[in-house]
């Protein structure tokens, strides 16, 4: 498949597929990158329907590993707006594909953008709950975090006071876009109750893949994702 590497405001990005008036903006998740297998699968499915794909690396991912920028919601949301501005000036119609944490960043960045639809794979839709779970597991409360500001965890993640306050000050109240969700029955990270609450509150279609995990990585799981994308795009 044709791939064109570009930079948008210094952010390493890729345009997939043949020239088109239509684009799927792809936001990867944590520990992923702009050329991950799921993005390749998306590009193939989108290309078969005449859509290009625009993907990019979040801070500390892909070509940006080791950079000074951190992958914090407030910073990533600002970057996503820059990427969307580029997409809207180069394509007539845009739809969104986002994975895991990339879905949360999209919820922050794109409530007011013109989107044909959104497709979310294993989306984080309630970051407040996720942070609370992380803090409880680590034995950290808000007072500890406020005092220390930054707390590295044994699992390689890091808790930040500024992220904690930002997340709690920016709950997701608005999301008008038709949203197709593929959620895994064995998702260890995202609570099913949060997915059901989001689905009931905002328009769209929820598909639950009973055998799936949060990270779609086996051949069977990836085929399920490919079939779902082909149906929903």
**Would you kindly state where each structural domain of the chain is located, as residue ranges?**
3-125+178-232, 127-171
Which residue is associated with the tokens 């779609």?
Answer: 216
**In this structure, are residues 232 and 119 in contact, taking their beta carbons and an 8 Å threshold?**
yes
Residues β-bridged to residue 41: none
* Contact (CB, 8 A) for 18 and 52: yes
Q: State the average pLDDT for the chain.
A: 96
210 contacts: CB under 8 Å, gap ≥ 6: 185
d(CA 97, CA 48): 16
Q: Any idea which fold 3-125+178-232 has?
A: Rossmann fold (3.40.50)
Helices of type H across 157-191: 161-169
Instruction: Specify the higher pLDDT residue, 175 or 155.
Output: 175
Write the pLDDT tens digit of every residue in 43-95.
Answer: 999 999 999 999 999 999 999 998 888 999 999 999 999 999 999 999 999 99
Instruction: Please compute the mean of the pLDDT values over residues 137-148 and round it to a whole number.
Output: 93
Residue 130 has pLDDT above 90, yes or no: yes
Q: Count Cα neighbours of 130 within 13 Å in the Cβ-side half-sphere.
A: 21
CA pair distance 227, 212, nearest whole angstrom? 14
Q: What is the pLDDT of residues 209-223, one digit of tens each?
A: 999 999 999 999 999
- Predicted TM-score (pTM) of the model is 0.96
Q: Which tokens belong to 52?
A: 């290009």
Of 33, 81, 23, the residue nearest 57 (C-alpha): 33
**pLDDT score, position 154:** 85
Compute, in degrees rounded to 10, the torsion defined by CA atoms 226, 26, 124, 191: 0
Q: Per residue in 13-47, pLDDT tens?
A: 999 999 999 999 999 999 999 999 999 999 999 99
pLDDT of residue 66: 87
């Amino acid at each position: 498949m044709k791939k064109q590497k570009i930079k948008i405001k210094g952010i390493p990005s890729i345009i997939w597929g043949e020239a088109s008036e239509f684009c799927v903006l792809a936001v990867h998740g944590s520990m992923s990158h702009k050329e991950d297998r799921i993005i390749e699968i998306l590009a193939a499915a989108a290309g078969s329907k005449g859509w290009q794909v625009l993907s990019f690396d979040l801070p500390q991912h892909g070509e940006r590993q080791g950079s000074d920028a951190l992958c914090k919601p407030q910073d990533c949301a600002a970057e996503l707006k820059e990427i969307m501005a580029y997409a809207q000036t180069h394509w007539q119609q845009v739809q969104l594909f986002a994975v895991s944490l990339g879905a949360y960043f999209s919820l922050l960045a794109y409530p007011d953008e013109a989107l044909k639809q959104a497709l979310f794979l294993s989306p984080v839709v309630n970051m407040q709950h996720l942070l609370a779970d992380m803090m409880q597991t680590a034995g950290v409360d808000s007072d500890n975090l406020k005092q220390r500001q930054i707390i590295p965890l044994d699992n390689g993640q890091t808790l930040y006071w500024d992220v904690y306050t930002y997340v709690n000050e920016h709950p997701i109240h608005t999301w008008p876009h038709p949203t197709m969700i593929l959620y895994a029955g064995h998702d260890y990270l995202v609570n099913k109750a949060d997915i059901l609450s989001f689905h009931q509150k905002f328009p769209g279609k929820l598909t639950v893949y009973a055998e799936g995990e949060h990270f779609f990585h086996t051949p069977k799981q990836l085929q399920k994702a490919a079939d779902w994308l082909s149906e929903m795009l």
